[in-house]
A and B are shown apart, each in its own frame.
Chain A
Amino acid sequence: MELNRRDFLIVGVAGAVGLPAFPRVAAAASVTPASASEGRVIDVAKLADVRPGAALSFTYPDPESPALLVALGGPAQGGVGPGESVVAFSQLCTHKGCPVNYLSERKMFVCPCHWSSFDPAKGGQMIIGQASGPLPQIRLRVRDGIVQATGVDGLIYGRHTNIL
């Protein structure tokens, strides 16, 4: 088999979404689509009651799975409501399963156990910390002024599958 030298240059190709890592050329990032789990639909809150700054606790997809709904005041990946700013996440840190806190002034989640932190505007991407995955994002939709949870992107801490 002959390998073209140009092919060889392209290290780190991970399929269709891969970044050709030309060592000295800057290019745009790619985003890996998260896998989703289809779940039950539940009502979380009235959209009118969701205020920027506050975090609203609920459970999803079952009572053993705490989650937080936050309004960021600006657009967020997967956001619903005014300016696509309302998002929800599993509250369990994907490091060791401690419940994360929402710091409203900084608009970030921080885990008090080992200080892993997550960005709710970027799909729960870990800002810094020791977790081995983003914070799972709860998929939301708005029906008749009600924010509903419809599924989870990512695996919730402590489970081998989201729906037990």
Chain B
Amino acid sequence: MTSIPLPPPDCEKFDTVCQFCIVGCGYRVFKWPVGKDGGPAPERNAFGADFRHAQPANGDWISPLMHTVVTGRDGRRHNVAIVADRNCSVNGGLASVRGGGLAQTLYAPDRPTRDRLTKPLLARGDGFAEIGWDEAVDLGARVVKAVIDRWGPDAVGMKFFDHGGGGGGFENNWAVGRFFFSGVGTRTVSIHNRPAYNSEVHAAGDAGVGALTNAYLDARLADTIVLVGANSYETQTNYFLNHMVPNLTGESLDLKRSAFVGEPVAAGRMIVVDPRRTMTVAAAEAAAGKEKVLHLQIEPGADIPLLNAIARIVLSRRWHDVAFLRERTEWQTFEAYQRSSLGVDRPVDDVVREAAEIAGVDAERIVQAAEWIAAPKDGGHRRRALLHYEKGLIWGLKNYENIAAIVDLALLTGNVGKPGTGVSRLGGHQEAYVRPPAPGGRPALNVDEAVRRGETKVYWVGGCNPVLTTLRAEALEAALKERGAPVRAALAATVGQPVGARVTAIVEALKAGGQFLIVQDIYPTATARHAHLVLPAAQWGEMNLTSINGERRLRLYPRFMDPPGEAIPDWQILARFAKRLNALYLEDRNPLMANRFLDFDWRTDEDVFIHARYNFRGHRNDPAERYAGITYDFLRKLGNEGIQTPVRIVNGVPVGTVRMHEDGHFHTPSGKARFIPAPRPWPGYAAQVARQRANHRFWVNNGRVNHVWQTLYHHERIPFYRDRYPMPTIEIHPADAAELGIASGDLVSVFNDVGEVKAMAQIADTVKRGHTFMLFGQPRGAVGDLVSDHVDPATTIPYYKGAWADIKRIGPQPEIARAVTFLPQNVAQ
């Protein structure tokens, strides 16, 4: 009989925030001992609801996915239920498919999460042996010291999370930065999802414009919401459902009337720039009506001419915001922008026609987009447009100029720093960037290449899995394997010997081209297979952490259970290494180096949070992540509402920031925003990419899907998610599939000059002919195996979306076809 225990009224209760996407929905955690269940009568359960009857729609309910049983370090077993918080303004009680399964991600020795890393592991023979923390830290620190001393700090390479939410947070990020930047001092650093240590929105930073400028409220207030390269129903779910949809349906009209007295208001419109007809397009049409949704289904790489053509139309029709341009922008940059990005020396119709050709959309629709963004409303009121972008733009043809094009459009139309406007990335993960200044230059060093070239002697990977996510992934994995082999042999030859002898043998292996790989994670990942030292970390719910969401909302995500085995928070791992390095350098009579590893004496999660608060000076010029005066106690009182950063002290009280740039100030020396002119109308394809396009038939667009998070590290373990995506899907247009004899569920090979990957076919009209879309980062097939090594030379950001390949059918998969649905994923009515 299917049933779920109910939490008793006196159970432990915690406010927390989802560990997954940028939106950061509020959740409630209920924890109570097994056998001490509540009952269905209202006075006998924590909801106060009458479970003797079925709950109404939008009522209180614990689905089986929202419940688990955990075992503490003391062996005691507790029920844990995690349900969406109806009092949190971010999600208003809505769970996404990912957040609905938060309970299932918790460690339990008798459930699918049982294979969490619980003890440090050292490579031994073909496998690993469990070792103690002291031994692991001593050996690892001695290797790191030997490498710094012999080859210099840059020989210590790292790839670490820099994000918020699960596996991140202000606490862990600060420790990572303190250890590698001000401790080791290496410039060979990279961020979880890319080969370098760099902003994904350099152009916005150069313009003086924040990455996350608006409040989610602005999506309820905008006249027009623009989504470029984003699929928000699937990847910023409750921002879309709880804030954008009420605008599209007209539900937020009263709010608009009270916010904009004397200004005409109407239900919102939406423009979606996406090569696919996604669920976001379908859902927007269902909410707003088709006539209020404009889908520009562009060809790959067309963002720059498209956005600049829209801007050119705005300028030609004199819809630009003259007052904003005069008061808030550096006029010299505006002149340069008009000439080089907007082509003012050429007729507007030529510019628009050229953009239409490159983008593969009708010129009239580009004009319509310009009207929806900037045509004045009745009475001459400026239209309020909220411009959003994400990975379609960020990981597009040319990162720097892509971002410049949308930021410039926002400046031209004055759509930043005012209610109902903004120009912001939508975000993937949450944020929590506090670090000392990174020692690297710009453009940032490509660490993948440094690893492949043999320049790194230690490579330390924390909370990410580059074997599944990087570009030319197979080449990176081959380097990890090949360069790891001599180190593994050195360890095998010195089993049982004193640590000094072992380190000497390892250094000999490093001299011969070897690389010592440290992996710090929660699960035995595909990258960890090649490690020499594996360090078990705590996850979300097992430590206190803090993060901000896509509107900079800072909240506390409390610890409510023990980490498994000997796992400890990432910050503690790095603090242990720092203390050991400090002692080793003192023994070596090298106080200069020893001092670099001082100040790691944190005792609690909050100690790190406060240390970062006092020392973080802003990321470049953007103060978005500063949080003056905030303590855990303060956050606890604010619950899931939290406070929006940046936070400053006014009359002794911390005051948050609803939207950035509302004071008219931008992050430049002049305080005015700068246009970032594009050097040419369209950069075209880099040589590697052009070669792929010429030689292979299909564009392999790729990204996340609704059900699963990133590399599926939790979701490949949880049947509800795993059974839906047992392997990566590739969407293929029906006509293309018919030509290739491919049916939904078939196993196909996708291959090009970089590599090959296998996927299950999904025949779908989401994609145009010649286009495909593949789930990225799936453990059974990494799309990175097809992505060329081209990066934007200005930013070292890859063109992850820019792979072309051929496809051939391998054969049917009857079990997949029987178990997995292949019905269309863009039906909303």
Binding site for B on A (CB under 8 A): 1-9, 11-15, 17-19, 21-32, 35-38, 64-65, 77, 92, 94-98, 101, 103, 106-108, 110, 112-115, 117, 119, 121-122, 125-134, 152-164
Whether B112 contacts A159 by the Cβ 8 Å rule is no
- Complex interface: chain B residues within 8 A of A161 (CB): 1-4
- Complex interface: chain B residues within 8 A of A94 (CB): 63
Whether A162 contacts B3 by the Cβ 8 Å rule is yes
Query: Out of B54, B233, B722, B727, which one reaches A159, CB within 8 Å?
Result: B54
Q: What's the least CB distance linking B186 to chain A, in Å?
A: 28
CA distance A32 to B724 in the complex (A): 11
Which residues 713-736 of B have a CB within 8 angstroms of A?
Answer: 716-720, 722-724, 726-727
Whether B52 contacts A164 by the Cβ 8 Å rule is yes
Whether B823 contacts A32 by the Cβ 8 Å rule is no
Which one, B14-22, B119-127, B378-386, is touching chain A? Answer: B119-127
Whether A162 contacts B127 by the Cβ 8 Å rule is no
| Interface residue B610 (Cβ < 8 Å from any Cβ of A) | no
- Complex interface: chain B residues within 8 A of A98 (CB): 57
Whether A162 contacts B780 by the Cβ 8 Å rule is no
Q: Quick one: closest B residue to A113, CB to CB?
A: B57
- Complex interface: chain B residues within 8 A of A130 (CB): 94-97, 100, 237, 241, 706
- Complex interface: chain B residues within 8 A of A156 (CB): 54
Which residues 780-829 of B have a CB within 8 angstroms of A?
Answer: 780-782, 813, 815-816, 818-821, 823-829
Given contacts A23-B467, A103-B829, A125-B723, contact A29 B815 (CB under 8 A): yes
Q: What's the least CB distance linking B700 to chain A, in Å?
A: 17
CA distance A112 to B821 in the complex (A): 20
Q: Quick one: closest B residue to A77, CB to CB?
A: B818
Whether A152 contacts B2 by the Cβ 8 Å rule is yes
CA distance A164 to B53 in the complex (A): 7
Query: Out of B129, B716, B782, which one reaches A11, CB within 8 Å?
Result: B716
10 closest A-B pairs by CB: A132-B100, A158-B55, A161-B3, A29-B726, A14-B112, A32-B719, A119-B821, A5-B127, A97-B57, A132-B65
| Interface residue B236 (Cβ < 8 Å from any Cβ of A) | no
Q: Quick one: closest B residue to A23, CB to CB?
A: B526
- Complex interface: chain A residues within 8 A of B824 (CB): 106, 108, 127
- Complex interface: chain B residues within 8 A of A122 (CB): 819-821
- Complex interface: chain B residues within 8 A of A95 (CB): 95, 100
Which residues 1-60 of B have a CB within 8 angstroms of A?
Answer: 1-6, 40, 51-59
- Complex interface: chain A residues within 8 A of B781 (CB): 24, 26
- Complex interface: chain B residues within 8 A of A108 (CB): 823-824, 827
Whether A29 contacts B827 by the Cβ 8 Å rule is no
14 A-B residue pairs with Cβ-Cβ distance under 8 Å, sorted by A, are A3-B128, A5-B529, A21-B779, A21-B780, A23-B526, A26-B758, A31-B723, A110-B827, A114-B241, A122-B819, A133-B100, A158-B61, A159-B55, A160-B51
Q: What's the least CB distance linking A85 to chain B, in Å?
A: 15
Whether B61 contacts A29 by the Cβ 8 Å rule is no
Q: A30-B819, A97-B59 are in contact. List 14 more A-B contacts (CB 8 A).
A: A5-B128, A6-B126, A14-B717, A18-B112, A23-B526, A23-B780, A64-B53, A65-B54, A110-B827, A115-B279, A115-B283, A127-B823, A130-B706, A154-B64
- Complex interface: chain A residues within 8 A of B825 (CB): 117, 127-128
Whether A21 contacts B716 by the Cβ 8 Å rule is yes
CA distance A115 to B446 in the complex (A): 42
- Complex interface: chain B residues within 8 A of A30 (CB): 723, 726, 815, 819
Looking at chain B's contact residues, the main secondary structure is: loop
Which residues 96-142 of B have a CB within 8 angstroms of A?
Answer: 96-97, 100-101, 112, 115, 121, 124-130
Whether B241 contacts A15 by the Cβ 8 Å rule is no
CA distance A120 to B526 in the complex (A): 35
Whether B727 contacts A26 by the Cβ 8 Å rule is yes
Query: Out of B53, B94, B526, which one reaches A114, CB within 8 Å?
Result: B94
- Complex interface: chain B residues within 8 A of A163 (CB): 1
Whether A3 contacts B237 by the Cβ 8 Å rule is no
Q: What's the least CB distance linking B703 to chain A, in Å?
A: 14
Which residues 449-505 of B have a CB within 8 angstroms of A?
Answer: 467-468
Whether A14 contacts B719 by the Cβ 8 Å rule is yes
**Binary A-proximity of B717-760 (CB < 8 A = 1, otherwise 0):** 11110111011000000000000000000010000000000110
- Complex interface: chain A residues within 8 A of B63 (CB): 94, 131-133, 155, 157
Q: Quick one: closest B residue to A133, CB to CB?
A: B63
Q: Quick one: closest A residue to B829, CB to CB?
A: A110
Q: What's the least CB distance linking B448 to chain A, in Å?
A: 17
Query: Out of B716, B726, B816, B823, which one reaches A106, CB within 8 Å?
Result: B823
Given contacts A95-B95, A130-B94, A130-B100, contact A125 B286 (CB under 8 A): no
Which residues 526-553 of B have a CB within 8 angstroms of A?
Answer: 526, 528-529
- Complex interface: chain A residues within 8 A of B115 (CB): 11-13
Whether B782 contacts A23 by the Cβ 8 Å rule is yes
| Interface residue B525 (Cβ < 8 Å from any Cβ of A) | yes
Whether A28 contacts B112 by the Cβ 8 Å rule is no
Whether B127 contacts A2 by the Cβ 8 Å rule is yes
Tell me which of B62, B115, B283 has the highest count of chain A C-beta atoms within 10 A of its own C-beta: B115
| Interface residue B523 (Cβ < 8 Å from any Cβ of A) | yes
Whether A23 contacts B468 by the Cβ 8 Å rule is yes
